[in-house]
Structure 1
Amino acid sequence: MTETMIIGGGSGMGFALARVLVAEGEDVTIVGRSADRLATARAELEQAGNGRVQTKRADISREEDVAELFAGDQQVDHVAVTAADATGVYGPTARVSTETARFILDTKLLGAWLVGKHAAGKVTGSLTFTSGINAYRPNGSNTIMAAANGALASLASGLAIEMAPVRVNAISPGWVDTPIWNQLGMDKQAAFAELAQRLPARRIGTPDDIAQAFLAVMRNQFITATVLHIDGGHRLT
């Protein structure tokens, strides 16, 4: 039986991935900072299929939490990291607090590095990070997030060498309808209608689109040190 740990699996893209796996009868462990969100997600997932669902509360910016995730002798087939928090990160660099910038690096980049550090020897199949379109199309209001996402490509390449034959990759979503948009204080549906017209795909992505991308790199045993772009053609516009 395949088991996958999804860090950030309580909502958004991570939850969508968990739902697909559970529906296929696979076991998942979802990890997040909010015990309430994890409990709600677990209840929904247990109705979605026959796979076993476990929850673990952890903040991947804290090394002791990450170390605890992989403590003991138990191994896991795949680890996917989808955790993200964009609170306060968008705006001109001069207006983004240094505290916020450090928080983004701690969670998005160093958190991923900590997972690689402590998952080594415990994950047997693949480790997949979540980057993002702003690494390739910065727009002047997302610079620190673009920097963190861009660095994940290099992190994945380095860990792919260190952790081989475990495969290490990154998924790079474009504009996707996830709860993170609710943190930005905008009319989301109006924004999506406008943004969709700028993409060759003519629509915003869904969490299920990203879940399928995760499955592709998790299951294809010849993909490693790769960034898979799931962005509706955004890099062309």
Structure 2
Amino acid sequence: MTDALIIGGGSGMGLALARTLLAEHMDVTIVGRSADRLAAARAELETAAEGRVGTVRADIGREEDVAGLFDRVGPVEHVVVTAADVTGAYGPSTGVASSAARAVLDTKLLGAWLVGKHAAGRVTGSITYTSGINAYRPNGSNTIVAAANGALTSLASGLAVELAPVRVNVVSPGWVDTPVWDQIGMDKQAAFTDMAGRLPAGRIGTVDDIAQAFLSVLRNGFVTGTVLHVDGGHRLV
């Protein structure tokens, strides 16, 4: 049995989680669309891995890929989904192409649902999705991303009932320094400095902050149908 399957584990929060779980002597399989990125991530992880590392190339926006993924890995204890495609999805809705909006939904929402669909009967412990602060603090330039993230709460609630006793939850990060920011096309450092000054926590989040949040959800067998906010207090300001 695979201890943890991390979809989107080739970079950012997913890669940090893989490092964290491997340090816990868990066997981890990371999943992504880019073979090159997966190979680089595996090489990095294997240098200090306590558990075993596997990789599978798959696009969770494609049902045949998701079905094939679970056929290949077999039984798995925990599934975590951090995959996101937000290319071209930021800006006023009038300027966002419908193809970019569909790509967000294909990955963040429909892809998440496909994981739940094909994980049924294969996953023994939990499924955890990743949403984000824009579901609670939209700013006028991230509406479709906010919509997809917000919908994950309802999806997790439904699947928590449908797939019980498998637990289904959502981790909702605030602003975290990840490669996703490179897709947005903004002055990242200036934005981070401004946001850090506003947050009660006084800083931007790190991928390790989020990895520890995922780990707490995976470990607690009495948490299901829940959103864990890890946002430095962003919802308060």
Q: Deviations over 1:22-62 (max 9, x none)?
A: 12211000000000000000011111222100000000000
| Mapping 1:167-186, distance limit 5 Å | 167-186=167-186
Instruction: Work out whether residues 2 and 29 of structure 2, in 8 Å CA contact, stay in contact via their aligned partners in 1.
Output: no
Residue type of the alignment partner of 1:31:
V
What displacement does 1:99 show?
Answer: 1.1
CA distance in 2, matches of 1:73, 1:196: 40
In the other structure, the counterpart of 1:48 is 48
CA distance in 2, matches of 1:96, 1:185: 14
CA distance in 2, matches of 1:63, 1:52: 27
1:77 aligns with 2:94: no
Instruction: Work out whether residues 2 and 75 of structure 2, in 8 Å CA contact, stay in contact via their aligned partners in 1.
Output: no
In the comparison of the two structures, how many residue pairs are matched? Answer: 237
Runs of 4+ in 1 over 4 A off after TM superposition: none
TM-score normalised according to structure 1 size: 0.98
Q: CA RMSD in A?
A: 1.1
1:203 aligns with 2:188: no
In the other structure, the counterpart of 1:31 is 31
Quick one: structure 1 residues 126 and 233, their matched pair in 2 at CA, closer, same or farther if it must change by over 3 Å? same
| Mapping 1:25-174, distance limit 5 Å | 25-71=25-71, 74-174=74-174
Residue type of the alignment partner of 2:90:
Y
Instruction: Work out whether residues 24 and 49 of structure 1, in 8 Å CA contact, stay in contact via their aligned partners in 2.
Output: no
**Residue 80 of structure 1 aligns to a residue in which SS?**
strand
**Residue 55 of structure 1 aligns to a residue in which SS?**
strand
Quick one: structure 1 residues 198 and 39, their matched pair in 2 at CA, closer, same or farther if it must change by over 3 Å? same
In the other structure, the counterpart of 1:12 is 12
**Aligned residues with identical type, % of pairs:** 75
What displacement does 1:220 show?
Answer: 0.1
Instruction: Work out whether residues 79 and 126 of structure 1, in 8 Å CA contact, stay in contact via their aligned partners in 2.
Output: yes
**Residue 64 of structure 1 aligns to a residue in which SS?**
helix
What displacement does 1:174 show?
Answer: 0.3
Per mean C-alpha deviation after superposition, the further-off stretch among 71-80 and 195-204 is 71-80
CA distance in 2, matches of 1:49, 1:63: 31
Per mean C-alpha deviation after superposition, the further-off stretch among 68-77 and 133-142 is 68-77
Residue type of the alignment partner of 1:96:
V
CA distance in 2, matches of 1:82, 1:43: 20
What displacement does 1:186 show?
Answer: 2.3
Unpaired segments of 5 or more residues in structure 2? none
**Residue 127 of structure 1 aligns to a residue in which SS?**
strand
Quick one: structure 1 residues 161 and 191, their matched pair in 2 at CA, closer, same or farther if it must change by over 3 Å? same
Per mean C-alpha deviation after superposition, the further-off stretch among 187-196 and 143-152 is 187-196
Unpaired segments of 5 or more residues in structure 1? none
What displacement does 1:114 show?
Answer: 0.1
TM-score normalised according to structure 2 size: 0.98
What displacement does 1:2 show?
Answer: 6.3
What displacement does 1:185 show?
Answer: 2.1
Instruction: Work out whether residues 13 and 207 of structure 1, in 8 Å CA contact, stay in contact via their aligned partners in 2.
Output: yes
Residue type of the alignment partner of 2:25:
G
CA distance in 2, matches of 1:172, 1:153: 10
Instruction: Work out whether residues 76 and 123 of structure 2, in 8 Å CA contact, stay in contact via their aligned partners in 1.
Output: yes
Residue type of the alignment partner of 2:154:
S
Residue type of the alignment partner of 2:202:
R
